Homo-oligomer: A and B are copies of this chain.
Amino acid sequence: MRIVTWDRAGVSVPAALVASDEGDRLVDLSGVVASTLELLTDEGAAANARAVIDAADPSGFPLREGERLLAPIRPRVLLCIGYNYRGHVVAGGEGQPDPEHPDVFVKTANTMIGPDDAVLLPPQSDDVDYEGEIGVVIGRTTHAVSAEDALAHIAGYTLVNDVSARDWQNRTSQWTLGKCFDGFAPIGPAIVTADEVEDPTHLLVEVIRDGKTTVSQSTSTLIFPFAEIVSYVSQSITLQPGDVIATGSPQKLPDALRDHRPLTDGESVRIRVEGIGELVTVFRASEI
């Protein structure tokens, strides 16, 4: 199931995306569940939702295009992982050594926006950057689980753009303020339930900035795979259903690294992971 939150004429409703020849369509699930969280935590509710989806004639549902989606979930805790993909080794060069432990930081509640919201470029920063990441969505209370058990605690997968103000991020030892400007965490569009993601260890993460591919790397190159991240974090933070961990950004491709330039008004960043979806974020200058 591809779970979304649909802004249906101003009312936020739990919904699902279904494919049709004309593109994805939206099935309102507010008759079945009160929230998207229920679809992640209550197997009976999820089964009922699937029955509704399967029984209906998709052609009667509105097309996703033209409708507005909100963040599929409002995590109580949104965490991100620093350097977590082995870098591209350029000719004659060497990769960085693997870190011993995942480096974890927080995106605060003010950062979270939906997949159809633009990121406003804050006038306080001259260097806003993007990072395309897979977010694991927790399905049950998770405390000090082993890596073996951790996968069963992941209810689904979504996409997160970990937006950063690099100038602020690098001012101090802790990255918090650079990572936590308002709207710096677009999430979605959907949570794809774990049963529909066949092999999370071989997902190609692609990022396209204004038509040019700047990231293309598989989760097979993760230093800490999803299960290890969940296990490690859960030794400290008891995770709750709906919490999200963005699992780190692959290295940018050599061209993109060399030509680093801050995001500007009107640019768009497309994060694409086959089987999980596409998160397209437009960046806009703030009106001051």
Contact = CB atoms under 8 A, between A and B. Distances in A.
Given A124-B236, A235-B124, A176 B144 contact: no
Contacts of A99: 172
Identical copies in the complex: 2
B110 A176 contact: no
Contacts of A143: 182
B174 A175 contact: yes
A109 interface: yes
A58 interface: no
Nearest to A78: B108
Interface of A: 76-77, 79, 82, 99-106, 108-110, 122, 124, 143-144, 165, 168, 171-178, 180-182, 232-233, 235-238, 240
A180 B236 CA distance: 6
B109 A108 contact: no
A27 B79 CA distance: 39
Mostly, the A contact residues are: loop
A120 to B, nearest CB: 11
Nearest to A184: B236
B76 A177 contact: no
Contacts of A122: 235-236
Contacts of A238: 110, 182
Contacts of A82: 172-174
A5 to B, nearest CB: 19
